[in-house]
Amino acid sequence: MDNILEIIHVSKQFPGFLLNDLSITLPKGFIMGLVGQNGAGKTTLIRLILNMLEKDAGEIRVFGQDNIIHEHLIKEKTGVVFDQIFYAEDWTIRDTGNAISVFYENWDHDLFRQLSERFKLPSNKKIESLSRGMKIKLMLACAFSHDARLLILDEPTSGLDPVSRDELLELLQEFIKDGERSVLFSTHITADLEQIADYITFLQEGNMIYTGSMEELLDKYQKIKGRIPDLTWELEQRILGLRKTDLGFEGLVLRRDAAHYNNCILDKVTIDDIVISHSKGRGQS
Which residue, of 201, 217, 233, is where some domain finishes? 217
CA separation for the pair 228, 225 (Å, rounded): 10
Claim to verify: residue 144 and residue 193 sit in the same structural domain: yes
Q: What is the pTM of this model?
A: 0.90
Domain annotation covers residue 285: no
CA separation for the pair 148, 142 (Å, rounded): 9
Claim to verify: residue 98 and residue 141 sit in the same structural domain: yes
Which residue, of 173, 194, 217, is where some domain finishes? 217
Claim to verify: residue 145 and residue 128 sit in the same structural domain: yes
Claim to verify: residue 195 and residue 228 sit in the same structural domain: no
If DSSP codes are grouped into helix, strand and coil, which group holds residue 133?
helix
Domain count, the chain: 2
Domain ranges, residue 264: 221-280
Determine the pLDDT at residue 283.
55
pLDDT tens, 142-164? 988 998 999 999 987 777 788 88
Claim to verify: residue 108 and residue 44 sit in the same structural domain: yes
Domain annotation covers residue 126: yes
Claim to verify: residue 239 and residue 197 sit in the same structural domain: no
The CATH number of residue 48's host domain is 3.40.50.300
Q: Quick one: which H or E segment has residue 223? A: strand 221-226
Claim to verify: residue 145 and residue 270 sit in the same structural domain: no
pLDDT tens, 202-225? 999 999 999 999 999 999 999 999
Q: Residue ranges of the chain with pLDDT lower than 50?
A: none
Q: In terms of DSSP H, where are the helices of the chain?
A: 42-49, 71-76, 93-101, 109-118, 132-144, 162-175, 190-196, 214-220, 233-238, 271-280
- Strand-pairing partners, residue 54, are none
Determine the pLDDT at residue 237.
87
